[in-house]
Structures are given as C-alpha cells and as structure tokens.
Amino acid sequence: MHSREPGRRIDEMLAKLREREFRITPQRLAILKILAASEGHPSVDDIYREVKAEFPTTSLATVYKTVSLLKELNEALELSFPDGSNRYDGNNPAPHPHAICVKCKRIMDPELMNIDALTEEMSRKTGYKIFYHELEFFGLCPECQKKN
Amino acid sequence: MHSREPGRRIDEMLAKLREREFRITPQRLAILKILAASEGHPSVDDIYREVKAEFPTTSLATVYKTVSLLKELNEALELSFPDGSNRYDGNNPAPHPHAICVKCKRIMDPELMNIDALTEEMSRKTGYKIFYHELEFFGLCPECQKKN
DNA sequence: CTTCATGCAAAACATTTGCAGCTGG
DNA sequence: CCAGCTGCAAATGTTTTGCATGAAG
C-alpha cells in the first residue's frame, strides 16, 4: 500500500543507528533487513526464526534488544495484541490504524482520514500533550467471513 | 464523566450472569463491585489486592477467571498496555477512546465524535467485518506537563 | 584497545491450567 | 445433590537481566 522501496527504508534505519552511534553488527543488519522488508507485521519469534536462517548463532535476546532499540529510535512500530504478544512494523514506523482479523490474525493497514482531527479533539478535551496513538479494529477479514 | 450509578451497573452485570446461568459466588460479587464502581481502570493485581481486603481467601486465579468471563460477556473492557499489563473498565464496557499519561499512567475517557464514521471507513476500505476497536492516545497529562 | 553488543542461562512477570474439594442453586 | 466454582501450585509463554566472551569502530 504505502511501502517504500526496501533498500531505501533500510538505509534510513542504518543512518539513524550511525547518527546515534550504535554499532552495526551482522545480527542487527539481518534483523533490520527483515523489519524493513516485511509487510506481515512479524512477532519477535517470527523475526528470530527468520534471522536464524541467515545468521544461525543469533539469540532471541538479541532480537528483543534490537527490536526495542528500534522502537525507541522510532524506526519500528509496536502493535500490542490483546493476547499479550507483540508484533512489529518496521516498514512504516509512524502510528497508523490497523484492521486485525480475530481468526487468522491477518492485518491490513489502510490510510484513514481525520486521525489528526481526532488527536486534536482528544488533546483539547483532556489537556494531555499527545505523542502517539494506537488504533486497532478487530473483526473478520473477507476470507474468514466466507469460511463461516 | 459518563459513569452511571454504581448500584445500577452492578445489577446489569448480575442480570447478565444469571441470564447465562453463571453462579453468583461471594468472590464474583466482590470483584463485580470493584469493577462496577472503579473509575481508575484497575489491573488484575489491583483488583486482587482490593478483593482480598473484603474477602481474604480469594485467589489470583479466580480474579483472572472472573475478569475474562466478564470480558466475554461484554461487561468489562480490556485495555492492553504496551508494557504488557492489562487494565479493566467495568463501568463503561463499550469500546471507547482513552488518553493515557506515559508518566503517571493516569487515564481519561472523554467522548469523541466520529468514531463510528472511522469504523465505517475502515470496514469499507478493508472488507473486514468489524466487531470492536481499541483507541489509545499516549502523552503527558496536565499535571505531569507542569512538573517538567 | 575500549566500549558496546552478543549469547547463554536464569530470573522475572503475567496469565493459564489441572485437579481435588467445596458450594450455590 | 452435583455441575460449576474455588484455591493452590505447577506449567506456560513472553520479555528481561547478569555476566563472561567477542567484535565493531
């Protein structure tokens, strides 16, 4: 939908790491590649399994550490699922709405209008200074609707 | 803000339990009272500590079981926090937006306009059949803004 | 070289589960 | 009575942490 070219996205991430003087290790590079390219909102464990294919000695702890580093640098977006598991979007790290299928877990990321207006309304009504938001819609995707 | 009278709210919950033929035990009643009355979006552990004051033999597992039962009956709303902890709103169990202070965790629940329109737009753009949503804004509450 | 990152295993949490015994309706 | 609920403790799943070793800059 609004995915940029993978190569460009990974360069942004690398630039941010260098700028903040974090080291570029082979493990980090492998994780960045997956996050930059993935359209599928992988979980930490998904990433772990994929990284191990390319770089077998990588540990789960390293994946966790890298993913939270990217989260802090605003280069990855964390989706916290109701079941406790988290998923990550490294392709489009700005907050954006998701539609999540409660059955097959498929996620779509369409652009919606008026989110800024909503944020402004929230800020005005509460006095909060708002930094980011999470907006998730839960339901059945078209395929799972048919199967019922 | 939009809190109903606590007695009435608890009666709604009890009616739903009876209707579905779930038993009304003292432990459940104590938990319902807390959820129906609380304005503060308590965590399971908050509820557990409060229940034990009134009914000391209650176990954590029972609180978990009761809270998930109420969630399934649509009599309690679950807020999944990014840090993994969950909080519950038994006072207003329909999905509604929250403003959450990242520093002191204070939560406000103002009414926002246009959420239905947004849901409709999401449904139209994705083909998903949408059941519920989560909308959380994260930022600094007025008090914590002053303290900085 | 020096500092930071990695990998491993253990720890820390939050939540779930199995099951014997209790109890609400 | 007896199906369903409770309490306990053990199991599970996810994320974090401490620390010795290794490698990036």
Q: Which CATH class is domain B98-147?
A: alpha beta
Can you tell me the distance from the alpha carbon of B13 to that of B35, in angstroms, rounded to the nearest whole number?
A: 10
What amino acid occupies position A97? P
pLDDT tens readout for residues A31-80: 999 999 988 899 999 999 999 999 999 999 999 999 999 999 999 999 98
Q: Does A94 touch chain B (CB under 8 A)?
A: no
Q: What is the mean pLDDT of chain B?
A: 92
Can you tell me the distance from the alpha carbon of B90 to that of B32, in angstroms, rounded to the nearest whole number?
A: 8
Task: For chain A, give every domain's residue range.
Answer: 6-89, 98-147
Distance between first and last Cα of chain B: 27
Region A6-89: CATH code = 1.10.10.10
Please name the residue that has the structure tokens 């978990």: B64
Which residues 109-148 of A are in CB contact (within 8 Å) with B?
Answer: 110, 112-115, 117-119, 121-123, 125-142, 145
Can you tell me the distance from the alpha carbon of A99 to that of B4, in angstroms, rounded to the nearest whole number?
A: 31
Strand partners for A79: A87
Confidence of residue B147 (pLDDT cuts 50, 70, 90): confident
Q: How far is the CA of A124 from the C1' of D13 (A)?
A: 40
Question: Is the CA virtual torsion B63, B67, B68, B73 positive or negative?
Answer: positive
Average pLDDT over every residue of B73-82:
91
Query: With pLDDT > 90 as the criterion, what percentage of chain A qualifies?
Result: 80
Q: Are B132 and A138 in contact (CB under 8 A)?
A: yes
Structure confidence at residue A1 (pLDDT): 54
Strand partners for B99: B108, B137
* Nearest CA-CA partner of A118 in B113, B120, B109, B132: B113
Do B6-89 and B98-147 come out as alike in CATH topology? no
Looking at per-residue pLDDT, the higher value among B139 and A103 belongs to B139
**pTM of this prediction?**
0.89
